Amino acid sequence: MKPSVGWIGTGVMGESMARHLLSEGYPMGIYTRTPAKAEPLLKDGAEWFENPRALARHHDVIISIVGYPHDVEEIYRGESGVLSCPAEERQCQIAIDMTTSRPSLAASLYQEGSQQGLSFLDAPVSGGDVGAKNGSLSIMVGGAEETFHKVAPIFEVLGGQIKFQGAAGSGQHTKMVNQTIIASTMIGMCEGLIYANRSGLNPEVVLESVSGGAAGSWSLTNLAPRILRGDMDPGFFVEHFVKDMEIALQECERMGIQLQGLTLAKELYEAVIQSGGGKLGTQALFDAVDSMSRRDSVE
């Protein structure tokens, strides 16, 4: 019999991920701060629970994917959080946080969970709304390797690239690598499209050429076509990406390194937020880069 799953978070990615598990026959309970967002999953057979503590009391595995580190803290350490449920009353023995969050928070939750008989994994993902819908996410896992193997069948439903990275917090550190690479890649992609437009090329044909060469990337394949269509709907929110870059830069400071590309990308994305684009998709960077590229001569 498949383990029951208590799912927390039904945003742009969370709903699709939860639906994959439901369709594979995993019994599921749902908690979200906005109950209306859970309605589609409830209609498909999930059951509503009033808080994370109630989920922990009645499910084998808790999985969370929310917005910010403070949301993660509330889910696990809050008054009605998972860890507030006494061990003798708690059915849950494994918790998996798939939010992109602080490595130090993941490590501390692992320690607290261990003291209460709860094994905690940090397992952030990459692949955006497309990867969530297709069940092809890249999943980066930190924690106890024994626990990772126990829940591997769950990960296999959600992702196509699943790697155990090491001790608690290692999944989050790996996600910071991922976000650092994407940050600079997004600048290059936007500048390349601007160049194509200004030089009179057909951007669609250009994309066909460069996507299959050394410049190819996930962002180029999935986000550049959205830019050309003027589609700025979120597969991943700008404000969440800025949060990720802030975490990465805090880790850089702690480790004594400076990453100039990451710093620049954060500044550009903050300009998007200041112009009201925090809830847009990360491809909205194009407008900010395009505006900066227009250098009208002043006599």
Tally of domains in the chain: 2
Q: Say what the pLDDT of residue 299 is.
A: 41
CATH number at residue 195: 1.10.1040.10
**In-domain check, residue 299:** no
Residue where a domain stops, chosen among 119, 139, 166: 166
Q: Say what the pLDDT of residue 298 is.
A: 40
pLDDT digits (tens, 9 = 90+) for 118-144: 999 999 999 999 999 999 999 999 999
Q: Say what the pLDDT of residue 234 is.
A: 93
Answer yes or no: do 22 and 157 share one domain: yes
Q: Say what the pLDDT of residue 293 is.
A: 87
**In-domain check, residue 243:** yes
Domain that holds residue 252: 174-293
Answer yes or no: do 10 and 157 share one domain: yes
Whether this model's pTM surpasses 0.85: yes
Question: Could you tell me if 63 and 100 are in contact, meaning their C-beta atoms sit under 8 angstroms apart?
Answer: no
Answer yes or no: do 139 and 280 share one domain: no
Answer yes or no: do 161 and 197 share one domain: no
Answer yes or no: do 186 and 230 share one domain: yes
Answer yes or no: do 14 and 133 share one domain: yes
**In-domain check, residue 298:** no
Ramachandran region, residue 208 (left: φ > 0; alpha: ψ -120 to 50; beta: rest): alpha
Rounded (10°) CA dihedral 262, 265, 270, 271 = 160
Answer yes or no: do 125 and 217 share one domain: no
Residue where a domain stops, chosen among 100, 134, 166: 166
Answer yes or no: do 179 and 73 share one domain: no
Q: How many CB atoms lie within 10 A of CB 67?
A: 17
**In-domain check, residue 208:** yes
Q: How many CB atoms lie within 10 A of CB 56?
A: 29
pLDDT digits (tens, 9 = 90+) for 221-261: 999 999 999 999 999 999 999 999 999 999 999 999 999 99
Q: Say what the pLDDT of residue 263 is.
A: 97
Answer yes or no: do 139 and 232 share one domain: no
Nearest to 7 by CA among 48, 44, 67: 48
User: Could you tell me the mean pLDDT of each successive run of 10 residues in the chain, 299 residues long?
Assistant: 96 95 98 92 96 98 97 97 96 98 98 97 96 97 98 98 98 98 96 96 96 94 96 95 97 97 97 96 95 63
How long is the chain? Answer: 299
Return the active site residues.
175
Answer yes or no: do 160 and 185 share one domain: no
Question: Could you tell me if 170 and 144 are in contact, meaning their C-beta atoms sit under 8 angstroms apart?
Answer: no
Residue where a domain stops, chosen among 110, 131, 166: 166
